[in-house]
Amino acid sequence: MPQQCLSRGDERIVTEPSGRARDPEAVSRFVEHFAAQLVEAGLQRMPARVFAALLASDKGVLTSAELGEQLKISPAAVSGAVRYLAQVRMVSREREPGSRRERYRVHGDQWYEALTNREAVIKRWEDALREGVTSLGADTPAGRRLTETLAFFEFVDREIVAMMERWRAHREERFGRGEG
């Protein structure tokens, strides 16, 4: 069920599928603030805004039209942002039941999925660095620098795996199995 807009005098209220009324300006402020934080961390602006809007939605699901309306962006901007977010496993696409329209979902485990995707990138970097050490020679200044960089990424890789195991246990203890 999509968001519904109601008016009370001069005040515009957004009612989420949960039935809870929310101030659209407060939602917009959160979305833009959190998106700005994601941009500072390296995410592109439009995917950051789309992700924050999905995260702020009670159901974690919005259609392209709803995203476009809420963020005041074009369907092409939504499409490009969602394509990127799906590629890095931060959102998924699904068909609306009984419709040809797609909707986009953010999951409770989106951070886990995003880090898991980063783990694959780190593995590729490790392979490239190993190749570089072999090519440049481990005993050269550049080879030693690459060896240290490789050691750092191997350390990060091991820590991410261990951290994700601890997170799964912590998440289940705190939130139960739930969605995700």
**Three-state DSSP class for residue 107:** coil
Say if residues 58 and 16 touch (Cβ distance below 8 Å): yes
Between strands 11-15 and 61-63, the pairing is unpaired
**Three-state DSSP class for residue 131:** helix
Q: Which of 6-20, 120-134, 145-159 has the lowest mean pLDDT?
A: 6-20
Residue 33 structure tokens: 């603030």
Model confidence at 19, pLDDT cuts 50, 70, 90, reads: low
| Predicted pLDDT at 7 | 44
Mean pLDDT of 65-81: 96
pTM of the model: 0.69
Model confidence at 32, pLDDT cuts 50, 70, 90, reads: very high
**How far is CA 128 from its chain centroid?**
26
**What CA–CA distance (Å, rounded) separates 137 from 5?**
65
